[in-house]
């Protein structure tokens, strides 16, 4: 059980992270920023599409409400 103690495991993980070169960290950061940028772009595209669909949905709701009132009468 000594191999799974918290301090030894954290020490080994810390020493491995320290051995990673700065260039690798920069490349990982660049990839992370690229992924975040793509996610933001996708979110903006989806929101703009939904914004464009709003008048159609509102018109359909008005039409359905009018048909419901006609059927009730």
CA–CA distance, 47 with 8 (Å, rounded to integer): 48
Structural domain tally of the chain?
1
Give strand ranges (E) for 1-73. Answer: none
Averaged pLDDT score across all residues of the chain: 85
What's the pLDDT at 36? 98
Domain that holds residue 60: 2-72
What's the pLDDT at 5? 61
Instruction: Read off the pTM.
Output: 0.59
Positive/negative CA dihedral, 20, 23, 26, 27:
negative
Render pLDDT for 34-61 as a digit per residue (tens, 0 to 9). Answer: 999 999 999 999 999 999 988 888 888 7
């Amino acid at each position: 059980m000594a191999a799974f103690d918290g301090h030894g495991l954290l020490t080994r993980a810390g020493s491995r992270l320290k051995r990673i070169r700065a260039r690798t960290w920069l490349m990982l950061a660049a990839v992370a920023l690229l992924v975040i940028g793509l996610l933001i772009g996708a979110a903006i595209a989806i929101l703009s599409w939904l914004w464009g669909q709003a008048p159609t949905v509102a018109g359909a709701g008005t039409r359905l409400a009018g048909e419901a009132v006609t059927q009730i009468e």
